[in-house]
Amino acid sequence: MREPEQSVAPERPDISIVIPAWGAYAGPMLREALESLRSQEVRAHVIVVDNASETPVQAADADEVLRSSARLTVGAARNLGLARVETPYVLFWDADDLMLPGTLRHLRARIEAEPHLVAVTASILEGDPPVPHRWPRPWAARLARRPRAFAVCNSVWGIYPTTGSTIMRAAVVREAGGFGSGHGGDDWVLGVSLAFRGRVAFGPAPGRLYRQHAGSLLRQNSSTRHLIRRAAAVRTRLREDSGVPRWVRPLLPGIAAGQLLAVLGLNPLVRARRAFATWTGEGNRPTRQRD
């Protein structure tokens, strides 16, 4: 007599992906983003945070949709999703970006192989045809070999992303206090806490296709006033985070001065250079991806 076939339960994912969405972020771009996550070779538990969108977010490709009763800042919406994460690894995705093939497999393999890492980030592409995004800079990967110097420099100016194609240890993210509470800069606040808790690694392969739309938060929160406010939030985290070494506290006046110099001096120069590159067409030329 033939034995009855036993069903095999699917392997439980060890990665969660949290995506806040509302308004313009909850339309076709979100569906495309979810499709790119589902096409990965590695399965993930996808949590969409409906940030009190006027029309409830429809996300058939998500494992769960968590609706906030009131509109939150993007950082608070990410933290709401973080509270539902039960896996050892987590990524926070933007609803208007695409994940490139093979990204989850590459990121998970790297962070599993190196227990001292708190985060592994892949490079970014943008545009059509896609070209390497200007950030993170190649020198940041070299600086990451010196964790203390990397953490201090990241406190002055954000040099690696904590959203997008960056995998992180969920327990460390929670221990660090999660994202800041602001609309913009919340990811920098988390990045500062993580960098003082362990090493950050950079992978050469691109993992994210960066896209913007007319209502993008970046477009709305990039003024000098917003940048100064973000820098102040970073200093608050440095003072209050028990995981930040005590030797950092005496450096806070120097960090504040460096932040101000970056906002008022470096940032305008970078924007002017970017505008000139766009005007001359140089900004649309593919550049060589470093290994």
Assign residue 228 the CATH number of its domain.
Answer: 3.90.550.10
* Residue 3 domain flag: no
What local confidence, expressed as pLDDT, does residue 216 receive? 62
* Residue 286 domain flag: no
**Host domain of residue 190:** 15-279
* Residue 7 domain flag: no
* Residue 52 domain flag: yes
* Residue 4 domain flag: no
* Residue 77 domain flag: yes
Count how many domains the chain has: 1
What's the whole-number average pLDDT of the chain? Answer: 89
Q: Please tell me whether the peptide bond between 136 and the residue prior to it is cis, using omega within 30 degrees of 0.
A: yes
Instruction: Kindly state the tokens that stand for 204.
Output: 């050469």
C-alpha to C-alpha distance for 216 and 152, rounded to whole angstroms? 29
Residue 33 carries which side chain, given as an amino acid letter? A
Task: Name, in order, each residue with C-beta under 8 angstroms of 231's C-beta and a sequence gap of 6 or more.
Answer: 256, 259, 260, 263
What local confidence, expressed as pLDDT, does residue 223 receive? 83
| Nearest partner of 52 among 77, 74, 27, 69, judged by Cα | 69
At residue 141 the predicted structure's pLDDT band, cuts being 50, 70 and 90, is very high
- pLDDT digit string, tens, across residues 71-105: 999 999 999 999 999 999 999 999 999 999 999 99
* Residue 291 domain flag: no
Q: What angle do CA 165, 168, 169 make, to 5 degrees?
A: 160
Count of CB atoms situated within 10 Å of the CB of 42: 15
**Mean pLDDT value of segment 272-278:** 54
* Residue 34 domain flag: yes
Q: Are 37 and 167 in contact (CB under 8 A)?
A: no
What local confidence, expressed as pLDDT, does residue 104 receive? 97
